[in-house]
Amino acid sequence: TQLLEQSPQFLSIQEGENLTVYCNSSSVFSSLQWYRQEPGEGPVLLVTVVTGGEVKKLKRLTFQFGDARKDSSLHITAAQPGDTGLYLCAGAAYGGATNKLIFGTGTLLAVQP
Amino acid sequence: NAGVTQTPKFQVLKTGQSMTLQCAQDMNHEYMSWYRQDPGMGLRLIHYSVGAGITDQGEVPNGYNVSRSTTEDFPLRLLSAAPSQTSVYFCASSYSYSSGNTIYFGEGSWLTVV
């Protein structure tokens, strides 16, 4: 069974601070996605990374896919209260023919004003 | 702009009861799936479908049935509810079943089995 471990599980920071969330696995993924989920809602896709070593930026969020396609990180610069939520990474199995995703355990971020 | 619609939003069941969680999408998406979300375990795939008339098991299929008679609908049936099925259930869809397509999630259905 492929597993995606996220760290930290919980993070409470002050507005303006920087943070990094990690997503690690011993398995190789063909692509990796990051989602944000707010209370009472479903996950919403933030980004998809496909190529080993790829870096994508979405405003203050920077996503990186590891060279070996086994891990990824999400870095938030100058966090704001609006960034509060559950961040989930999800990997598509390498060589998989369908859009099945394996989700990480999640990182719950709280940004205090 | 309905997207993926799930009903009901909340449900309480007694052990042994059966029920169906409804899921409909209006985006003509080929791929649909059901996940359950439990604390500390992320989302786990229950069943999925790559098109009308085609379904397959995911990671945790036991105790659940699905069918896909139309492109739009993908109901999830709990045959005999157990307390271990207390969870939040999410239906999701994507345009194509090919890996890497954007997946759109519904708002979730909160199920409690007592």
Per residue in B58-108, pLDDT tens?
Answer: 989 999 999 999 999 999 999 999 999 999 999 999 998 776 778 899 999
Can you tell me the distance from the alpha carbon of A21 to that of A8, in angstroms, rounded to the nearest whole number? 7
In tens, the pLDDT along B27-72 reads 999 999 999 999 877 899 999 999 999 999 998 999 999 999 999 9
pLDDT score of A2 more than 70:
no
Q: Is B40 on the interface with A (CB under 8 A)?
A: yes
Q: What is the mean pLDDT of chain A?
A: 91
Contact yes or no for B107 and A44 at CB 8 A: no
Peptide bond into B8 cis (omega under 30): yes
pLDDT at residue B1, rounded to an integer? 60
Mean pLDDT to the nearest integer, A31-44: 92
Contacts of B43 in chain A (CB under 8 A): 43, 88, 90, 101, 103
Contacts of B90 in chain A (CB under 8 A): 42-43
pLDDT at residue B41, rounded to an integer? 79
Instruction: List the single residue in A31, A92, A99 with the smallest CB-CB distance to B31.
Output: A99
Contact yes or no for A48 and B100 at CB 8 A: yes
pLDDT at residue B111, rounded to an integer? 97
Other beta carbons within 10 angstroms of residue B5's beta carbon come to: 14
A90-104 burial code (b ≥16 CB/10 A, e <16): bbbbeebebbbbbbb
pLDDT at residue A98, rounded to an integer? 64
Identify the closest residue of chain B to A88 by CA–CA distance. B42
Can you tell me the distance from the alpha carbon of A14 to that of B30, in angstroms, rounded to the nearest whole number? 43
Greater confidence (B85 vs A40) lies with B85
pLDDT at residue A94, rounded to an integer? 67
| DSSP strand pairing (B10-13 vs B19-25) | unpaired
CB B77 within 8 A of CB B22: no
Which amino acid type is present at position A87? Y
Greater confidence (A100 vs A1) lies with A100
Q: Is B45 on the interface with A (CB under 8 A)?
A: yes
CB A92 within 8 A of CB A6: no
Mean pLDDT to the nearest integer, A76-88: 97
Mean pLDDT to the nearest integer, A1-12: 87
CA-closest candidate to residue B64, choices B43, B53, B48: B48
Identify the closest residue of chain A to B51 by CA–CA distance. A98
Dihedral sign (CA B87, B80, B13, B73): positive
Contacts of B31 in chain A (CB under 8 A): 98-99
Query: Helix or strand or coil: residue B84?
Result: helix
- Of chain A, the end-to-end C-alpha distance in Å amounts to 40
Instruction: List the single residue in B100, B101, B107 with the smallest CB-CB distance to A42.
Output: B107
pLDDT at residue A95, rounded to an integer? 63
Q: Is B31 on the interface with A (CB under 8 A)?
A: yes
Q: Is A42 on the interface with B (CB under 8 A)?
A: yes
Contacts of B58 in chain A (CB under 8 A): 100
